[in-house]
Structure 1
Amino acid sequence: MDLNTKYLCFVVLGVFCLGIVYSVLSGGIQYNTPHEPPQISDAKRHWNIINNSAILREVIMNIHNIKYEVKEEDVCIKTLPDCIIIGVGKSGTRELIDFMSIHPNIVSKSNPYQIRGGLQSDQSEYSNVIHQMPCRYSDQINTIKADAYLQQRDKPAEIFAMNPKVKLIAIVREPASRLISDLTMSTKARKTIHNDRYISNSKDMKNRIKYLVNIPYKELPVQVYKSIYDDGLERYMKVFNKTQILVIESNDFKYTPVKVLKRVEQFLGIKSFLSDEYFVLNTQKGYYCIRKPDAYTKTMVCYSATRGHSKQMHVDKKDLESLKEYFRPHTERFFKLLGRRFDWLN
C-alpha cells in the first residue's frame, strides 16, 4: 500500500469516528432502553361516557352507601323532610339533589323526588309525607325537591307548620334564559298556551316573547311566573329565619359544582366530604358528570343525552333584552331581598 492510500484510509477512519461521536452527543443513535410515553393532560385522555340517568343515580347511591358507616345500635327510621329544595324548575334542581346525595349524611327521596299529595295533613304526625320518605339514621338529613314551591303562595306556611326547623334551598337561573329553556322544553312535551300551537321556529319564539311581555302581572302564565323570584323569596323570609334559606345561582353550580356543594355542606351543618374526586367535566357537553369509581377504566356517568341540554331556538338579541327588561324590576327587588347580586343584567 503506497503512502497516498494509507493517508486516505486514515482520513476516512477519522471521519467515521468523528461521526460516531457526533451522533452519540446529538442523540442520533437510539438505544433499546425503556422510556416513558409522552405525558397527556387528564383533560385530553379518552373517557368512556355513559348517558343514562338510572345508572347515574345507581352510581351515586353506591358511593353513598360505601362511604356511610352505620353507628352501633342506630336505627334507620322515616321522618319528615329536614331539607327541601324549593325551586326553581329548569335551573338545575335535579342535578343539585342528585349531587348532594353522594354525601353519606344526605338521604334523598328517589325519583319522583316530590311528595305526592302535598304537605297538608289532618294528622299531627303527617303520616302521608313520612310514608313517602326514605329512612335515615340519626346523623343523616332527609331531603326532597319541589320545583314549584318558591312560587306557591301557601307553601311557606305549610312547610313551617310541618317542620319549623327545616332547611330550604333555592337554585335560581337568570330569568330570561330560564323562561326560554322552559319554552323550548314545551315544544317537545306539550302545546303552548298561545293559540294552541307549538313554538317550531325562531319566528314563533319571537311572537311568543312579544305576547308574554304584554300580559298583565295578575294573569301571568306559570312559565313566566316561575322566573319571578322576589315575591316567593319575600314570602319565605316572612316565615323563616334567613339562616334557614340558602340561594344558589344556577351557573355557579353548573361550572363550579364542588364549590357550591361545599356551601351546602356548611349550610346543613354536616361534615365536609364532597370533592373533585367524584366529578368530571364532560367537555363535549360542557357540564359535569359523576366519575365512576373504577380502577381499570376512565368512565363518567351522565344524564341521558337529551337531559336539559337540547339545542334552544335562536332568540334575537333585541328580544332577549326585552325579556331582561321585563324581569328587571323583579330581579332588582330579588337582589335587594337577597343582599347580593348576580351577573344577570349586564
Structure 2
Amino acid sequence: MESRAQMSQSLPTKHHRPEATYRSCSQSLPLDILWLPRSSFRPAEGELADCVLVVGVSRPKLAAALLSVTLLSLFLTFHVLYDSALYSIQAASLASAASENRKILQNQESHSRTINHPMALRKRLRAPRQPRPARRLPQALIIGVRKCGTRALLEMLYLHPMVQKASGEVHFFDRDENYALGLEWYRSKMPLSFKGQITIEKSPSYFVTPEVPERVRAMNSSVRLLLIVREPVTRAISDYTQLRSRATPSAPAQPLAPGHPLPDAAKPFEHLAISPDGSINMAYRPIAISLYHAYLHRWLEVFPREQILVVNGDLLIEDPVPQLRRIEKFLGLEHKIGRKNFYFNETKGFYCLRNDTTDKCLRETKGRKHPRVDPAVVTKLRKFFIQHNQRFYDLVGEDLGWPED
C-alpha cells in the first residue's frame, strides 16, 4: 500500500489546502487508518466534511486474519440461513402429514366409531391377519326325527362350502351325563370352522326328549332347527327294521318254555304294532315316535315357528335338490348345492353324493330293505294316523299329503 508521503504527492493540486489541514486529519493507528481531505478526491461543493476515512492494512498476517474472519462470518451466516430454511420446510411437511392423519382418523371414527387412539391408524395400516379356524357351538341343529333321513340330510348339507358338521351324534342335550359336562365340552366336540361358516350337529333323539328344547334355548336362543319327517307308517316300519337288525341274530333251536315270550326283535312287525285286542299299540316305541305332534308342541312352546324348518324326508329321497334349496335359504346360505352333486345308485335305490374330488354313498346300514308287512295292517295304521297327522299339519301350517289308506 502507498505510504502517506506518496499519497500526498499524487493528490491533485487544484483545490490544495494548506499543509496544516492535511496534518490535522492524519492519525496514527495500528491499522493505518488515515483521514484525508475530501478535496483530495473531488472539488468540495456545499458544506461537506473536510476529511474522508481511508482504512488500509499494511501487515500481511493481519490482512489474512481479517479476510479469514470475514469468510467465516459469511459461512456461518449462510449456514444459519440454510438450517433455518430446512427446519421450516420439515416443520411444514410434518404439520401437513399430521393434518392428513387427523382427517383419516376422523373419517374412520365417523364410519366405524373406533377408539380415537394414536395407535389406531398404525393398527389399521397393518396387513390383515389370516383367518384362523376355531371350534364353535352349532348355529343349526338337526333335531330329528329318527329314521327319517337325518344322516342323509347332514351329509348333503356338508356338500356346501359354508357348512361344517360334527362327525357323530354328540347327544349333549338329551343325556344328563353329557349335559353335566358343560358347553365347553360340547364345543370341543364340534369341528373347526372359519368365521361365517355354519356348524351343524344332529342327534335324532333330541326331538323326543322333554328336556331338550329348554336346554337348546339356553345355549343359543336364535339357533336354527331342522326337523325332517317321513310318512309315519313308513317311518315306524324302518324303525322296526333297524331294531331287529341290532338284535342278536341267533334264534333258539327249541321252542321257548312257557313264561318266556319271544323278544320283540324276533316278533313280526304286525304283532308289535297291533295289540291282541286289535287296537293300535301306542306304547310300541316305533309307533309312539311317529306321533310327531306329541313332541313338536314342546318345541313350539320354546321356539318361534320361524326357527323350525320341517323337511319332507320322502321328497328328499326322491329329489334332494328342491328340499336343499329350501334349507339353504332357511340357513341364510347362498345356493351352492345342485344336481351336479348327486347321482342315482341303481343298486341301492337312492341318490349318492358327489363333490369335486370324490363320490360317496351312505353306509350299508342306510337304506335297508324293509320286511314285508301285511297290507291290511298298513292300511289300518294309516287310518289311525289320519287324525294325528292332521294335528301335525296344523302345528306346522302345511299339509304334507301323506296317504290315508
- TM-score, scaled to structure 1: 0.70
Partner of 1:343: 401
Q: Secondary structure at the match of 1:320?
A: helix
The count of aligned residue pairs is 264
**1:90 deviation in Å?**
0.8
Shift of 1:80: 1.4
Does structure 1 residue 155 correspond to structure 2 residue 218?
no
Instruction: Give me the whole-angstrom Cα distance separating, in 1, the residues matched to 2:381 and 2:188.
Output: 42
Q: Are 1:308 and 2:366 counterparts?
A: yes
State the Cα distance separating 1:175 from its structure 2 match. 0.7
Counterpart secondary structure, 2:205 = coil
SS at match of 2:275: helix
Tell me, what secondary structure is at the counterpart of 2:143? strand
Contact conserved, 2:275 with 2:281, CA < 8 A, in 1?
no
Greater mean alpha carbon deviation, residues 254-263 or residues 321-330: 321-330
The answer to whether the 8 A contact 1:121-1:128 is kept is: no
TM-score (norm: length of structure 2): 0.60
CA distance in 1, matches of 2:264, 2:300: 38
Match of 1:197 in 2: 263
SS at match of 1:148: helix
Given that 1:151 and 1:225 are in contact with CA atoms closer than 8 Å, whether structure 2 keeps it comes out as no
Instruction: Give 1:146's aligned residue.
Output: 203
- Other structure's SS at 1:130 match: helix
Give the drift of 1:224.
2.3
Find the counterpart in structure 2 of residue 255 from structure 1. Answer: 318
- What are structure 1's unaligned runs of at least 5 residues? 1-70
Q: In the alignment, residue 288 of structure 1 is paired with which amino acid?
A: Y
1:288 paired residue number: 351
Higher Rg = 2
CA contact (8 A) 1:191 1:198 kept: no
Taking the aligned partners of 1:293 and 1:140, their CA distance within structure 2 comes to 19
The letter for the 2-side match of 1:303 is: L
Q: After the TM superposition, which of the residue ranges 183-192 and 142-151 deviates more from structure 2? A: 183-192
Amino acid of the residue matched to residue 101 of structure 1?
Answer: Y
Residue 135 (str. 1) matches residue 192 (str. 2): yes
Structure 2 residue aligned with 1:165: 222
In structure 1, the partner of 2:296 is: 233
Q: In structure 1, the residue corresponding to 2:310 is in which secondary structure?
A: strand
Alpha-carbon RMSD? 2.6
Counterpart pick for 1:186 among 243, 246, 260: 243
Cα drift, residue 215 of structure 1: 6.4
Q: State whether structure 2 residue 392 is matched by structure 1 residue 334.
A: yes
- The one-letter code of the counterpart of 2:342 is F
SS of the aligned residue for 1:211 comes to coil
Aligned match of 2:8: none
Tell me the equivalent position of 2:40.
none
**1:170 partner letter:** L
The 8 Å contact of residues 83 and 169 in structure 1, kept in 2 or not, is answered as: yes
Q: Is the 8 A contact 1:179 1:227 kept in 2?
A: yes
8 A Cα contact 1:324 1:345, kept in partner: yes
Deviation at 1:225, TM superposition (A): 2.0
Which residue in 2 is equivalent to 1:177?
234
Counterpart in the other structure of 2:118: none
Amino acid at match of 1:178: R
Alignment match, 2:83:
none
- Give percent identity, aligned residues only: 29
Q: What is the CA–CA distance in structure 1 between the aligned matches of 2:294 and 2:301, rounded to whole Å? A: 11
Letter matched to residue 280 of structure 1: Y
